[in-house]
């Protein structure tokens, strides 16, 4: 291939160098919620659901901590309402009687016993506070506040819906706090894992947090979480989403590390790399390799350290006939 064509196709080469690198393994996993990244909004009393100042939030809507999501308005039965009104009337009657007693003692001037007057004034304040609390309980609804910032998820809720105490109305999910749960049947693997990356989002670095102390569906659960200082990814992670990760092991192996695009397939569907023999001559060389991560491979057999390998533009060179 003439040098001008090589430059036009963007073909670049580098010398193969043998090095020592960590072993990798591929694992299937699922995205789970992090305990700190999920919150439930539940009613603490029976009542009817009412809209907040901005209406009822819909699934997918972002909210901030402290936002009002709705109200629970308690609806008394006829017997409960009559009982509470009767108690309220009794408190008001007692307060009026105490006020009359206070006025009668105050009319005596210096002859009024101060201790008895102070006791009546204290009793009046207590009755007025009880009246205010009971009145507020009859009128004030329960406010449903968002305990954290995140994305709302809600199913089958409507304004005026009757809900019982403990009913989950809203679920708040923080998409930046998730767990990646993988599984393996190899006991020794749990202690050999160092870190991992997602294959579909290589910019998300995962930290291995540990393995479960109990089998899950006959497998050992392995848990990873995104590194806080890793670059933000444009690929979102959705709960219950199946993903595939490439785990880095503590064990070492030797070989030639090349960019993943350097390995292509020949007509027989065998993996090959292109070796540059001279300025304008290239030769396909069959190799055996392992995938280290989405961007790199490890050549185990087929190359020597004196070979000059095409590391960019190999797919275009492979199409030339």
Which class does domain 38-74+141-173 fall in?
A: mainly beta
Q: Is the pLDDT of residue 146 over 90?
A: yes
Q: Report, as an integer, the average pLDDT of 213-217.
A: 87
Confidence of residue 18 (pLDDT cuts 50, 70, 90): confident
For 21-43, the pLDDT digits (tens) are 888 888 899 999 888 889 999 98
For 233-275, the pLDDT digits (tens) are 556 788 889 998 888 888 888 888 899 999 999 988 999 999 9
Q: Report, as an integer, the average pLDDT of 142-147.
A: 90
Please give the pLDDT value at position 287. 92
Quick one: which of 318, 281, 288 has its CA closest to 303? 288
Identify whether the C-beta of residue 84 lies closer than 8 Å to the C-beta of residue 76.
yes
Supply angle C-alpha 246, 33, 232, rounded to 5.
60
Residue 256 to residue 237: CA distance in whole angstroms: 33
Which class does domain 3-34+177-319 fall in?
A: mainly beta
Residue 288 to residue 282: CA distance in whole angstroms: 19
Please give the pLDDT value at position 77. 59
For 147-202, the pLDDT digits (tens) are 999 999 988 888 888 888 889 999 999 988 889 999 988 888 878 888 888 887 77
Identify whether the C-beta of residue 144 lies closer than 8 Å to the C-beta of residue 20.
no
Identify whether the C-beta of residue 170 lies closer than 8 Å to the C-beta of residue 152.
yes
Residue 182 to residue 174: CA distance in whole angstroms: 21
Least confidently predicted of 10-14, 110-114, 254-258, 315-319: 110-114
Residue ranges covered by each domain of the chain: 3-34+177-319, 38-74+141-173, 78-139
Please provide the average confidence, as pLDDT, over all residues in the chain.
Answer: 85
Backbone angles phi, psi at 155, to 5 degrees: -130, 135
Identify whether the C-beta of residue 144 lies closer than 8 Å to the C-beta of residue 167.
no
- Token pair of 117 as six digits: 């007057």
Q: Is the pLDDT of residue 219 over 70?
A: yes
Between 229 and 15, the more confident residue is 15
Please give the pLDDT value at position 230. 53
For 43-78, the pLDDT digits (tens) are 888 888 998 888 899 888 999 999 999 998 876 656
Confidence of residue 144 (pLDDT cuts 50, 70, 90): very high
For 84-137, the pLDDT digits (tens) are 778 878 888 888 888 888 888 888 777 778 888 888 888 888 888 887 777 666
Q: Report, as an integer, the average pLDDT of 199-226.
A: 86
Please give the pLDDT value at position 80. 62
Residue 196 to residue 21: CA distance in whole angstroms: 14
Residue 56 to residue 163: CA distance in whole angstroms: 15
Between 53 and 81, the more confident residue is 53
Q: Which residues pair with 143 in a beta bridge?
A: 71
Between 279 and 235, the more confident residue is 279
Please give the pLDDT value at position 137. 61
- Token pair of 143 as six digits: 């406010």
Q: Report, as an integer, the average pLDDT of 287-298.
A: 84
3-state secondary structure the chain: CCHHHHHHHCCEEEECCEEEEEEEEEEEEEEEECHHHEEEEECCCCEEEEECCCCCCCCCCEECCCCEEEEEECCCCHHHHHHHHHHHHHHHHHHHHHHHHHHHHHHCHHHCCHHHHHHHHHHHHHHHHHHHHHHHHHHCCEEEECCCCEEEECCCCCCCCEECCCCEEEEEECCCCEEEEEEECCCCHHHHEEEEEECCCCCCEEEEEEECCCCECCEEEEEEEECCCCCCCCCCCCCCCEEEEEEEEEEEEEEEEEEHHHCEECCCCCEEEEEECCCCCEEEEECEEEEEECCEEEEEECCCCCCEEEEECHHHHHHCC
pTM of the model: 0.60
Residue 256 CB neighbours (<10 A): 25
């Amino acid at each position: 291939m003439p040098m001008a064509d090589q430059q036009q196709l963007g073909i670049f080469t580098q010398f193969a160098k043998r090095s020592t690198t960590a072993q990798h393994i591929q694992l299937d996993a699922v995205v789970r919620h992090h305990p700190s990244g999920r919150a439930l909004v539940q009613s603490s009393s029976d009542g009817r659901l009412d809209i907040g100042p901005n209406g009822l939030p819909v699934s997918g809507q972002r909210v901030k901590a402290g936002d009002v999501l709705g109200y629970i308005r308690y609806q008394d039965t006829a017997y409960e309402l009559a009982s509470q009104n009767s108690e309220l009337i009794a408190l008001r009657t007692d307060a009026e009687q105490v006020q009359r007693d206070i006025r009668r003692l105050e009319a005596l001037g210096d002859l009024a016993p101060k201790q008895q007057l102070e006791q009546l004034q204290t009793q009046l304040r207590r009755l007025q506070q009880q009246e205010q609390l009971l009145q507020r309980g009859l009128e004030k609804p329960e406010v449903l506040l968002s305990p954290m910032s995140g994305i709302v998820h809600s199913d089958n809720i409507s304004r005026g819906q009757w809900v019982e105490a403990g009913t989950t109305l809203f679920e708040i999910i923080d998409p930046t706090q998730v767990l990646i749960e993988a599984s393996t049947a190899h006991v020794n693997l749990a202690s050999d894992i160092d870190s991992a990356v997602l294959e579909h989002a290589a910019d998300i670095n995962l930290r291995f947090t540990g393995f479960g102390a109990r089998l899950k569906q006959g497998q050992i659960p392995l848990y990873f979480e995104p590194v806080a200082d890793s670059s933000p990814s444009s690929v979102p992670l959705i709960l219950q989403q199946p993903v595939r990760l490439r785990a880095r092991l503590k064990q070492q192996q030797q070989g030639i590390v090349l960019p993943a695009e350097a390995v292509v397939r020949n007509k027989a569907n065998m993996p090959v790399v292109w070796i540059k023999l001279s300025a304008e001559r290239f030769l396909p060389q069959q190799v055996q390799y392992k995938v280290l991560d989405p961007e790199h491979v490890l050549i185990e057999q087929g190359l020597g350290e004196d070979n000059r390998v095409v590391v960019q533009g190999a797919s275009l060179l492979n199409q030339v006939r």
